[in-house]
Amino acid sequence: MEESGASDRAGAARWLTMHDDLLRGMAHALSNRVGTILAVVSLLEIGESGAVQPIETLRLEADRLETLLQTLRHLPRRTRQSLEPILPVDVARAAIELQAHHPDGRDVVCDVHLDGDMMPAWGDAASIELAIAAALTGAKRHIATGVPVAVRISSTDDVVRFDVCGTIGGNAESERDLALDASAAHWLVSESGGRADTHASGIVIELPALAAIRRARKR
């Protein structure tokens, strides 16, 4: 019990660090958007357009701000989780968009790969998204230069897996850091009946499949 409690504390502390880094990244993106809008407004005030098209630029920046706001709303972890069916591809793509604001590995390519037909998962969508973002942060931080990160999704009647993987640097320090990143992901999904752990190429997150939950309720 003590070991589990220590692991939970380590996972929570690791996620708090990632959370702050993501928040700073989003603040930087927000600053860029506001700076562009102010520059366009200045051009409009002095009656200049030059080579730019102020109205179109403002519309584009408004769309970017709306996207940023929607992503920002995903960042807080809900204190009371809402367990429901989850579409694996949707939550993975949302996590990729969220994690793109983290300063580590911002330029690393990340793709989603499906292994066969996908079963819905069961859990709290917000926590699952944050857990995948944590795993992505770990994989991007320790990945070899120029190597992409993949979120490989597979499922059975019992489990849905998100395998966040690439070619991870094989030194002991990287492995320890990756284990801490996995502990953050595990802490985020544990209340949904999920788990996360490291493997040779990254972090894998496992969640109950919706079919498994339904079978259990019929017993």
Average pLDDT for 56-83: 79
pLDDT of residue 182: 94
Q: Provide mean pLDDT across the span 129-144.
A: 89
Share of the chain above pLDDT 90, in %: 47
The terminus-to-terminus CA distance of the chain in angstroms comes to 29
Q: Does the structure show a pLDDT above 90 at 47?
A: no
> How many Å apart are CA 100 and CA 85, to the nearest integer?
25
Alpha helices in the chain (DSSP H): 2-45, 54-72, 88-99, 125-142, 172-189, 210-218
pLDDT of residue 150: 92
Give the dihedral of Cα atoms 4, 8, 14, 16; nearest 10 deg. -170
Q: Higher-confidence residue: 50 or 196?
A: 196
Instruction: Place 73 in a pLDDT band, splitting at 50, 70 and 90.
Output: confident
Radius of gyration of the chain (CA): 20
Alpha carbon 121 to its chain centroid, in Å, reads: 16
CATH number, domain containing residue 107: 3.30.565.10
How confident is the model over 5-16, as a mean pLDDT?
A: 84
The mean per-residue pLDDT over the stretch 147-163 comes to: 94
Amino acid found at 78: R
How confident is the model at residue 130, as a pLDDT? Answer: 95
Per-residue model confidence (pLDDT) at position 210: 95
In 3D, which of 181, 70, 168 has the Cα closest to residue 126? 70
- Mean pLDDT value across residues 140-158: 88
Full domain range(s) for residue 138: 1-219
Domain count, the chain: 1
pTM of the model: 0.83
* Backbone phi, psi, residue 153, to 5°: -110, 130
Kindly indicate the confidence band of residue 166, based on its pLDDT and cuts at 50, 70 and 90.
Answer: confident
Q: For residue 88, which of 116, 120, 114 has the smallest C-alpha distance?
A: 120
Quote the pLDDT of residue 147.
Answer: 81
